[in-house]
Amino acid sequence: MGTEKIGTCYIQHIKAITLSEEKGAATSTLNQAINSLKFYYGTMLKKKFVYEVKRPRKDKKLPIVLSQEEVAKILTLVDNVKHKAILMFVYSAGLRVSEVVRLKPEDIDSKRMLIHVRGAKGRKDRYTLLSESALKILKEYLDRYKPALWLFPGPGKERHISIRTAQRIFEMACNRGGVKKKVTIHSLRRSFATHLLENGIDLRYIQELLGHVSSKTTEIYTHVSNKDLMRIKNPLDQILQKEGGRKEGYPTLSPIPPIFKKRRHSRL
């Protein structure tokens, strides 16, 4: 089969994906296919790729965050000091799971109360916050386990704990805490950013702590923060307060007009 015929077959495949996308399939699949074809035609065939398939718009989904009470409940129910330290660091420092598992003991600056995150996303280093509560748990963990190469080593000690293990630790803690939200360990990082924003921290500082290159990435947390929403008075509550309400909290109902009352029919 010739290279151009392969491209033609792939275009037909994309059109089939388009039909499935209309039925609820992920839009990212179609975008990946189009990008692959552009690379194939441009790099391999040295031709301009002209396609009749419309790129679907990306889904604009808001991140799911935990409340401060939910975070506290999750952390409290973790008995293993190593597991608790991992989850505390993810939340209190806004770390990615790939960052927390690769921490080394020398990355912890207890004098300046900072954590040095090395080779983060985009191969960039940054500093983030070191919580006093997390440091207290960390000291307890260091006294007990005395890690050398990695702050949170795996079973072999020469390698760090795996990302999947850290995720599993979080899942078990959520199950114990009865958390019903569809969250992952990354939700702790998102909750950290949202809670900072709700506490009045400037978005620019949050961007630096999270290591976001673009401020637009950080701005998504303004849509899940309830800082301003809490100031809005719900109209239902206003109605109940004006009407006086009953003991149950429902508004007082006016008497039923006579026209709606059940009529008694006289016997013939």
HSE, CB side, 13 Å, CA atoms: give it for residue 157.
4
Identify the active-site residue in 41, 91, 141, 221.
221
Q: Which pTM value belongs to this model?
A: 0.68
Tokens of 239: 């109605």
HSE, CB side, 13 Å, CA atoms: give it for residue 169.
25
How far is residue 115's CA from residue 100's CA, in Å, rounded to a whole number? 10
User: Using 50, 70 and 90 to split pLDDT, how confident is the model at 260?
Assistant: very low
- How many CB atoms are closer than 10 A to CB 248? 5
For residues 124-139, give the mean pLDDT.
Answer: 94
Compute the radius of gyration of the chain from its Cα atoms: 28
Identify the active-site residue in 73, 116, 118, 186.
186
For 33-37, 105-109, 119-123, which range has the lowest pLDDT when averaged over its residues? 33-37
User: Crossing angle for the helix pair 68-76 and 186-198, nearest 10 degrees?
Assistant: 140
State the chain's mean pLDDT as an integer.
79
267 catalytic residue (yes or no): no
User: Crossing angle for the helix pair 27-39 and 3-22, nearest 10 degrees?
Assistant: 160
* Beta carbons of 55 and 150 less than 8 angstroms apart: no
For residues 41-48, give the mean pLDDT.
Answer: 70
Residue 115, pLDDT score = 95
Identify the active-site residue in 82, 83, 102, 189.
189
- How many CB atoms are closer than 10 A to CB 14? 18
Architecture of the domain made up of 68-222: Orthogonal Bundle (1.10)
With vertex at residue 211, the alpha carbon angle to CA 207 and CA 212, rounded to the nearest 5 degrees, is 60
Domain positions in the chain are 3-44, 68-222
User: Using 50, 70 and 90 to split pLDDT, how confident is the model at 144?
Assistant: very high
83 catalytic residue (yes or no): no
- Residue 116 has φ and ψ, to the nearest 5°, of -90, 110
Q: Please determine, for residue 256, whether its predicted confidence score (pLDDT) is greater than 80.
A: no
pLDDT tens digits, 201-241:
888 888 888 888 777 777 777 666 666 666 767 777 777 77
Tokens of 49: 């790729």
Q: Please determine, for residue 268, whether its predicted confidence score (pLDDT) is greater than 70.
A: no
Single-letter code of the amino acid located at 84? K
Tokens of 13: 């495949």
Q: Please determine, for residue 72, whether its predicted confidence score (pLDDT) is greater than 90.
A: yes
Helical H segments across 23-60, by residue range:
27-39
186 catalytic residue (yes or no): yes
51 catalytic residue (yes or no): no
Identify the active-site residue in 82, 83, 96, 160.
96
